[in-house]
Amino acid sequence: MPSILFVCVANSCRSQMAEAMAKSLGRAGWDIWSAGSRPSGQIHPIAAQLVAELGLDLSGHRSKGLADIPRRTWDYVVTMGCGDACPAVPARQRIDWEVPDPVAMPLEEARRVRDQLGASVRALMSRRTGA
């Protein structure tokens, strides 16, 4: 079963959106998680709004730390904006996406970040499945 862990600092916005978008692709058998190097403990309202515009719901999500995820070697660990704070989680492949934090952006810019993130998620999962 292919696995992906999306990591950002707070696990409140970017990594949560990436997790929701990856799960929405409906790829059977994927194990998809997100976590933060310093979790905030909450989902940021802009993340909930941005994915709701895509028909996705973050109400069942929670901000998690690395201690809250399964201990394993992940197929992909995708880091987003955590720089030196990104942890050394066992992975077959590490990918760093330069995704700006949309939290303080005007809504139109935040939507562009969301759409860029969605395209990156689709490309990653398609590369693995060949779909």
Give the tens place of pLDDT for each residue, 69-100.
999 999 999 999 776 566 678 999 999 999 99
What residues does each domain of the chain span? 3-129
Q: For residues 114 and 101, what is the distance between their CA atoms, to the nearest angstrom?
A: 10
Q: What are phi and psi of 59, to 5 degrees?
A: -65, -25
13 is catalytic: no
Q: What is the pLDDT of residue 131?
A: 46
* Average pLDDT, integer, range 45-57: 97
> Looking at 86, 95, 103, 105, which residue is catalytic?
86
Q: Which of 5, 8, 20, 91 is catalytic?
A: 8
User: What is the reported pTM?
Assistant: 0.93
pLDDT over 70 (residue 129): no
User: What is the pLDDT averaged over residues 2-31?
Assistant: 92
CATH class of 3-129: alpha beta
Question: The sheet that has 74-80: what strands, in order across it?
Answer: 31-36, 3-8, 74-80, 91-97
Which one of 43, 82, 91, 125 is the catalytic residue?
82
Q: Say whether pLDDT at 49 is over 60.
A: yes
